[in-house]
Amino acid sequence: MSEANAILRCAAVPEEAALQELQRRFSALLARGVVFRVELEPELIGGYVALVDGKRYDFSIAARLEQLRVALGGV
């Protein structure tokens, strides 16, 4: 099976070792090679959003803060 071209949106440029680890983990999850193209998105605050094969994996601080805001009743 071919490699998945994927986008990794981050608040800051990830270290090479961290990027390779994420590619390894996503490759294992999807049972195919994953190669990320990094895009900077400072509004994420921290963490990352991975877009792979049309699916969004959101592990950003901004998403967690939004979940917390909703859980607190939209404060």
Q: pLDDT of 6-59, one tens digit each?
A: 999 999 999 999 999 999 999 999 999 999 999 999 999 999 999 998 999 999
Closest CA to 37 of 26, 55, 25, 50: 50
The SS3 assignment for 25 reads helix
Confidence of residue 4 (pLDDT cuts 50, 70, 90): confident
Q: Is the pLDDT of residue 74 over 80?
A: no
> What's residue 59's pLDDT?
96
Give residue 71's identity as a one-letter amino acid code.
Answer: A
Q: Is the pLDDT of residue 75 over 70?
A: no
Q: Where are the domains of the chain?
A: 4-71
Closest CA to 37 of 5, 10, 59: 5
Confidence of residue 1 (pLDDT cuts 50, 70, 90): low
